[in-house]
Structure 1
Amino acid sequence: MGDVVSSHLDEGRREAITGRTTEVMKQFSDVYEQQYAVALFNSIRFEIEGGGAPQSQLLHRKDALAGRSIFSGSLFQYLEENRKWRNRFVFVPDSYTISLYESKTAHERGLHPKGTINCAGYKALNSIEQYMELINTSLPGIKAKAGSTPFIKCASQFPLILWHPYARHHYFCVRTEKEQKKWHAVLQDCVRHSNNGLSEDCTIQTPAFTDSVRLHRQAKGHYGTWDMMCGKPPQILANLVMETLHPELRTIIGPRLKGKLQQRQKHWMLISDGVYRQVLSRTTGHYEALMDACEAQRGPLDARLRTDMDQIIASKEHVSSKMRALVLPKAEQLLRTNVQPYIPSILEALMEPTSRGFSEVREVFFRELVEISKNSLNGEGKDILGDHMERLSMLALHPVKMQSCYEKVEQLNLDGLQQRFDVANPSVFVGRAQILMGEQMDNAVYTFEQLLNQSLETKGEDDVCKTIQRCQDRVLKKYDYDSSTVRKKFFREALLQIIIPYMLQQLSPSYSPELPRFKEMIFEDFSRFLLVGNLFEEVVLQCVSKDIMMAVKEAAIQRRHNLYRDSIVLTNSDPNLHLLGESPQVDWAAKFGADEPEGCVGGGRSEGGGSGSRRRQVVSMIQLDGVPLPFESCLEVPGVELIPEEDVSEGTEEDPDLPEEAKSPDRVVEIRDLINPVVAVALPASTESPTDLTNGTAVTTGTVTWEDGVQEDVTHVTTMVEDVPRKAPRETASTQAAVQQLVENTKREHDEERQEEAAARGAVEEIEEAAQDDDSGRITDVSAAESDNESSAAPQPASVSGSQSDSGSQSPANGGPDEDAPQPITNGLNGEDKVLDPVEVEVLLA
């Protein structure tokens, strides 16, 4: 394959590709330097004058991905070098770059991955048919037959393919449909976040870059939206070069490829990948040099702007007023005839799926909180609550749980409008809406975490369910307001992205010759910050913005979209809540002692996540090893052993009206207790020879009689030795007399427990016989630990665990020879009378 690439990409052609890349980067650099000064002026003016959008009601997490990885699991990858399918361990860190390892052990040992995939610009496909539709258009002048076979043979019927218009394609497969759905959701999430590479926090670089790319494409005649505006700036610039270079090379090289159709398609993909990698390496170097040059000029430009800001603003307003008088008449006529009639239909196409998606976000968040409330009502411990909260904190980053929300927006369809307004692909708006949905979910989760943590610290943990309910209602109200604000902003931006390029395309031919005369009105000192082209676009933007704002306001009146009216503005409605925004993120695992989630992967510590906390993984798929595979080229078969994001109790809900004893137990310990009932018996242990009785379990035989007269066979005896501090050891003349005295006191105060006492004493005798038969006196497998309350209580002959524990226990207040000291009992192992310390013995009943 390397010969094919080298033969078509010889030294001369590679030099031509480098020359084309340098030419495009030179043109882009000239535009970027101009737009950088304009963006710096707008940023400083906004900083001085203030203003902005309504205040958010929900809190914002500073770093949602701090200390977390996204996913890890095993699947099969197709290796083009040897045409084999190999098992690979996949790890997705918080950068959403896919890393492929030889095995899980290689990842845990910190070895370098076999390969990495940056998903920017890719599409995640889950069928061969989708892939063939895209690949059959790769070569010009060739029409593939319907149903033509691909050049690879998938190892299973559940493929996963990453397709890119220029770069190398990646082929994977799994064994089950359930795995395919989950992997597809993960791959889509990697693509979604990799495409969202430009940060809005960069108030200078980001607008300067986006405006430069747009203006560069407009100079080439491309005014519409661009679906390859994805990834980091060097990747976007590589796509910008490939937009014109790729078709030219395909026309030149395509007819020279030899072989069958599938072979030619495969060779062309390898050639295209080689060109793309060469272009990307060049754009990366050019962009870094451009950034260094602009940052070096930032200081002098900043000083000049702050000194002459008033004069620059006055000059801008003067020129803009002159330009509005020239442009507005024709712009408003174009707006009334060719744009206004289509605004309602565009807005409706955007609002329906987007609103359904945000409603689904609310529903998913609500269901998670209801599940936590159910567990608190069922009396789950603090560790279980901490585990649920730890999982809730990762909800927005969970591609599988969020998939139902994302699917609602994927139904967005602009058919009939794309051709008129030159909208390349609705995926531009779908991806943006999905990112906003994830942010709103994380804001709601983070706000709920902070409110719940504050309530638990101030009001205590007595009624957790009511506390959760109050925090839930409070957060949902704030989510409704914020989601409305975010959606309206998204609709306005989407309408501008659709309409403004169309308006500029129609107006630019008429007014481009008129614009140079406006340069004479701008002082030379201000010419770097006031560009005539930008002023012309601002005039058109102001003309269109009024109609767009009115359309969104009218849509907000319709209740079916669940939008707040603009007159309802909540400012500083909850000042105490916003003070919590400065609080550190809650570490629920450390707060409640919860275990690490199932998918924890080593390799880093959480920043601010508590001491010793490991890197937490959002999604976990644990694969089965050793399952036979019918394909020789594969090593192992991936399978799902545990998928914690699914509700294992789905479809088996119990009737809430049933009495408590009629419901099936949920916990593993409860089920074991039903199968093997346990009787707890307190026995003394020797202080002089502590090795006579040790922790462990021994098989024995015997019976225990319950209160209703039913006898149960004893199968195992488990002991736990625990030292109990005593005020003063007492010597007794006869341990047998002490036992008799204790029994008489118990009978005198608890007549109703005589049968239980007899059963317990029988169990004690069985323990003594079992211990005498064991020469080493060792009993294994500790099965229970005595609580602090049981340690401080006076010893008793027997107490039945579960529902009988209260009736079978004797407190020191019930009387006895000495309330502060345990009553002496002989150990009975060696026939010696010794004062013994209490231990706990569990008797398992068959």
Structure 2
Amino acid sequence: MGDVVSTHLDEGRREMVSARTRQVMAEFGKIYEQQYAVALFNSVRFEIEGGGNPQSQLLHRKDPLQDKSIFSGDLFQYLEENKKWRNRFIYVADSYNISYYENRLAHDRGLHPKGVINCAGYKALTSMDEYLELLNSCLPDTKAKAGNSPFLKCASSFLLILWHPYARHHYFYVRTEKEQKKWLAVFQDCIRHTNNGLSEESKVLTPAFTDSLRLYRQAKGHYGTWDMMCGDPARILANLVMETLHQELRALIGPRLKGKLQQRQRDWMLISDAVYRQVLAQTRLQFDGMVQACEVEHPRLDASLRTDMDQIITSKEHISGRIRTLVHSRAEQLLRSSVQPYITSILEALMEPVSRGFSEVRDVLFREMVEVSKNTLNDGGKEALGKHMEKVSMLAFHPVKMQSCYEKMEQLSLEGLQQRFEVSSPSVFIQRGQILMREQMDDAVYTFEQLLHQSLDGQSGDQLFKVIQRCQDRVIKKYDYDSSTVRKKFFREALLQIIIPYMLKQLYPVYSSELPKFRELIFEDLSRFILVENVFEEVVLQSVTKDIMMAVKEAAVQRKHNLYRDSIVLTNSDPNLHLLGEGPIDWAQQYGGGEEEQAARGGNRKRRQVVSMIQLEGMGPLPYGSCLEVPGVEEIPEESEVTEDVQEKPISTAENVHHQQPTNTVEYVHHEPHGPPPDSPDSVDEIRQLINPVLEVVVPFSEEGDEPALTNGMLPLEEGQEIKAITTVTEMLPRDSAVESAIQELEIAVQEEEEGERLVECTLDSDGELAPPSSYSSPRHHDDSGFQSPTNENGEEEEPQPGPEEGDAAGDAVVDPEQVEVTVEQEREVSNGESETGETKGGESTEDDSDAVSEI
């Protein structure tokens, strides 16, 4: 792999990549420096003049994921280095970055992860055909057949693939469809969160960056939305560089790649990932330098703004009036002929899935609050309430529970309108709507928590139930109002994002030559805060804003969209509500949130996990450890082959035999202790012992004679075994105990006779052919096992051990995969002269008859 990258990405090409990155960043830096001053002016003006959106009815918490993690579990990951599948422990922290470790123990010990995936710009796929369709676009004039994987052989059809146009792809699989759905929801939530990497709380840096990016792309002829505006500014700039550089390198390197199609695709992905990492490191360093340079100028610019604010506003309004007069007629003509007829269609396409999504959020919220009421009433007491509220508090960040809401938004389609208005994809609007859904859900849950917590003092029983109902009704009412406000704002912004780029593309080339003359009307001291290009865009925006506002108001009147009219304002319903939101409520500590919540806040300081683990029904633990390779597809047996293998037969242990009857016995035991495997043998005798183990045989001993009583004159030895020594051990037990033991043994023998199983068998792991158990397995691995592919600290499936005292010695015995258990069956004579068959009849046994059991 490294040879491929170094061969096609030598020093000359790496220098070319660096030079192209510096060029793009230099051009962007000039625009960013200008837009930073404009964004600072807008921020200070808004601070002085006030205004803005109506106050929300719901409360908002600052750090909802404090001391929380999203999810963790085991997945099978494909390693490109050796083309093997390996079981990894995946941990998703509150940053939504995906960290994968060698095993759970490595994570618990605080070791560094094997790798971290930032999901910005990725797509989560579950179909190989869908992945191949995207992969075919990576190299020109190459196509792979839909039924063939490029270089991936997987033992499961439940794939999870993270695809990126420039960065490395990641491949995972799980064992069940249920696991796949849950992990897919988690991955999609990671992508959704990391794509939304620009902080809305930054009133200067974020507008300066987005305006600079838009103006840069418009200067290159790219108007409209951009799918790769994903992640933090450094990643967005890296995507900006790769937008053109990727195509050039593909045309330069692609024809020189050797080998079959699958190998060429794999090599190109490695090269592309190496280039992307180089570009990302460079854009991060240079953008940080841009921000620091602008922040140094911030105090001086701020002082100048506050001193000359009135003069700056007057000058800007004068320039706006002149430009509006210039472009008014053509803008109005374009608006009437090419924009107004489509505003209603665009709005309808947006409103239907968005309204369904927010309605689903309301339904999920209502169901959860009703569940809290029912459980509190049934279980009784504030302790039960605290337990359920601990789970409800993280409802907005539970990807699985929120999935039904997000799926409604996934149905957004702008077919027909995308081509006309050059909307590359509706994904920008889909992810924005989903982020707003999550924010509204969290605000509603947090408000419910604060109202309920305030009203709990001195309440119990039926009164407690009534308090929950009142808080529930108030929160739903507030959610209806706030969600209506948020949706209307979203519709206005989406319409502007679709229409304004289209109008600018039509108008800017016409007036670009006349705009420079307006710069002469701006005083030099004010030129940093008034840019003609920004004023021109604001004039175009104002020309269409009136029509957009009217369209949204008309839609609000229609009952089907569940929107409040702007004239409806909730006032004085909760005058002191915003005084409640002082911080998070620790339900587990105050009211008792259950054992899990209490343990999570114990001395181990383990972060509580938002998505809880579930135990898969009918699925045993993994037969291989977290750190072991998973064999290739050709090494995994078919289901029919597995069923043909012998199965473990219930037997009783040697300890139980001693309690069955008074016998003189010879123990038939492998001289190998229970527990972990022994160290490598150091002597010749030890090596011989491993090859031909010394066995001790347990056989019935006659009370009358001096010789062992064998029914058929043979010892039940496996091939390759031999007896080195016979030791006689005499142990006498009370007669009544022996009789009782013999009766129980006979009952077991009759059941075994009906099943027809009379074979000398070896203990076999359920998936013993796949791989040996992990030496890294630890009891800590099962702390929250369930949904995720569980580790194999109990890799052997233990069968119940019947015996006189079932659950004593038999239940405590630990069976090692290398141990062999052999049952010595005592043959019994068959009446009427028939030959010996080994079948046991209930009336033919005596108290001296027993099954001698030996363990290896």
Matched, 1:618 2:610: yes
Match of 2:368 in 1: 368
User: For the Cα contact (< 8 Å) 1:119–1:194, is it kept in 2?
Assistant: yes
Write out aligned runs for 1:263-342 (5 A). 263-342=263-342
Structure 1 pair 599–154 and aligned structure 2 pair: CA distance change class (3 A)? farther
Write out aligned runs for 1:106-505 (5 A). 106-457=106-457, 459=459, 463-505=463-505
Matched, 1:533 2:533: yes
Matched, 1:634 2:626: no
User: For the Cα contact (< 8 Å) 1:484–1:564, is it kept in 2?
Assistant: yes
SS of aligned partner of 2:389: helix
User: For the Cα contact (< 8 Å) 2:382–2:460, is it kept in 1?
Assistant: no
SS of aligned partner of 1:172: strand
Structure 1 pair 560–597 and aligned structure 2 pair: CA distance change class (3 A)? farther
User: For the Cα contact (< 8 Å) 2:85–2:632, is it kept in 1?
Assistant: no
Structure 1 pair 440–618 and aligned structure 2 pair: CA distance change class (3 A)? same
User: For the Cα contact (< 8 Å) 2:75–2:87, is it kept in 1?
Assistant: yes
User: For the Cα contact (< 8 Å) 2:381–2:461, is it kept in 1?
Assistant: no
1:296-350 CA distance string (max 9 Å, x none) = 0001000000000000000011111111000111011101100111111111111
Distance 2:572 2:51 in 1: 15
User: For the Cα contact (< 8 Å) 2:589–2:598, is it kept in 1?
Assistant: no
> Displacement of 1:568 after TM fit?
0.8
Distance 2:310 2:468 in 1: 52
> Displacement of 1:162 after TM fit?
0.3
Structure 1 pair 225–384 and aligned structure 2 pair: CA distance change class (3 A)? same
1:192-239 CA distance string (max 9 Å, x none) = 000000011000000000000101100110001001111011000000
Matched, 1:35 2:35: yes
Distance 2:632 2:442 in 1: 37
State the TM-score, normalized to the length of structure 1. Answer: 0.72
SS of aligned partner of 1:463: helix
User: For the Cα contact (< 8 Å) 2:87–2:625, is it kept in 1?
Assistant: no
Distance 1:16 1:562 in 2: 55
User: For the Cα contact (< 8 Å) 1:72–1:620, is it kept in 2?
Assistant: no
SS of aligned partner of 1:310: helix
SS of aligned partner of 2:277: helix
Distance 1:145 1:264 in 2: 15
Distance 2:609 2:147 in 1: 41
Structure 1 pair 74–433 and aligned structure 2 pair: CA distance change class (3 A)? same
User: For the Cα contact (< 8 Å) 1:73–1:622, is it kept in 2?
Assistant: no
User: For the Cα contact (< 8 Å) 2:126–2:160, is it kept in 1?
Assistant: yes
Write out aligned runs for 1:455-604 (5 A). 455-457=455-457, 459=459, 463-581=463-581, 583-595=582-594, 597=596
SS of aligned partner of 1:137: coil
1:465-507 CA distance string (max 9 Å, x none) = 1111100000000000000000000000000000000000000
Amino acid at match of 1:4: V
Distance 1:577 1:461 in 2: 25
Structure 1 pair 70–79 and aligned structure 2 pair: CA distance change class (3 A)? same
Amino acid at match of 1:542: Q
Distance 1:325 1:206 in 2: 31
Distance 1:127 1:630 in 2: 27
Distance 1:537 1:461 in 2: 61
Amino acid at match of 2:188: Q
Structure 1 pair 442–635 and aligned structure 2 pair: CA distance change class (3 A)? farther
Distance 1:336 1:600 in 2: 65
Match of 1:686 in 2: none
User: For the Cα contact (< 8 Å) 1:626–1:636, is it kept in 2?
Assistant: no
Amino acid at match of 1:589: A
Distance 2:272 2:93 in 1: 28
User: For the Cα contact (< 8 Å) 1:599–1:619, is it kept in 2?
Assistant: no
Distance 2:622 2:330 in 1: 71
Distance 2:234 2:183 in 1: 28
Match of 1:747 in 2: none
> Displacement of 1:133 after TM fit?
1.1
SS of aligned partner of 2:438: helix
Amino acid at match of 1:189: D
> Displacement of 1:383 after TM fit?
2.5
Structure 1 pair 433–412 and aligned structure 2 pair: CA distance change class (3 A)? same
Match of 1:742 in 2: none
> Displacement of 1:628 after TM fit?
3.6
Distance 1:589 1:635 in 2: 44
> Displacement of 1:145 after TM fit?
3.7
Structure 1 pair 600–327 and aligned structure 2 pair: CA distance change class (3 A)? farther
My pick for the range that moved more, 350-359 or 623-632, is 623-632
SS of aligned partner of 1:150: coil
Distance 1:37 1:596 in 2: 54
Amino acid at match of 2:229: M
> Displacement of 1:516 after TM fit?
0.5
Amino acid at match of 2:197: G
Distance 1:630 1:301 in 2: 60
> Displacement of 1:635 after TM fit?
8.3
Distance 2:431 2:58 in 1: 22
> Displacement of 1:148 after TM fit?
3.9
User: For the Cα contact (< 8 Å) 2:151–2:263, is it kept in 1?
Assistant: yes
Distance 2:606 2:9 in 1: 48
> Displacement of 1:458 after TM fit?
6.0
SS of aligned partner of 1:144: coil
Distance 2:597 2:161 in 1: 27
Tell me the matched-pair count: 629
SS of aligned partner of 2:100: strand
Write out aligned runs for 1:734-753 (5 A). none
User: For the Cα contact (< 8 Å) 1:316–1:530, is it kept in 2?
Assistant: yes
User: For the Cα contact (< 8 Å) 1:31–1:212, is it kept in 2?
Assistant: yes
> Displacement of 1:267 after TM fit?
0.7
Distance 1:534 1:628 in 2: 63
1:83-125 CA distance string (max 9 Å, x none) = 1111111111110011101111110110111111000000011
> Displacement of 1:379 after TM fit?
3.4
Amino acid at match of 1:208: A
> Displacement of 1:445 after TM fit?
0.2
SS of aligned partner of 2:485: helix
> Displacement of 1:143 after TM fit?
3.6
- CA RMSD in angstroms comes to 2.0
Distance 1:371 1:129 in 2: 41
Distance 2:282 2:295 in 1: 20
User: For the Cα contact (< 8 Å) 2:153–2:632, is it kept in 1?
Assistant: no
Percentage of matched positions with identical amino acids: 72
User: For the Cα contact (< 8 Å) 1:158–1:174, is it kept in 2?
Assistant: yes
Distance 1:330 1:601 in 2: 65
Amino acid at match of 2:630: C
Structure 2 unaligned spans of 5+: 634-856
Distance 1:586 1:601 in 2: 15
> Displacement of 1:82 after TM fit?
0.7
Amino acid at match of 1:591: Q
Distance 2:383 2:107 in 1: 30
Structure 1 pair 96–325 and aligned structure 2 pair: CA distance change class (3 A)? same
User: For the Cα contact (< 8 Å) 2:87–2:629, is it kept in 1?
Assistant: no
1:50-107 CA distance string (max 9 Å, x none) = 0000110000011111111111111110000011111111111110011101111110
Distance 2:596 2:197 in 1: 29
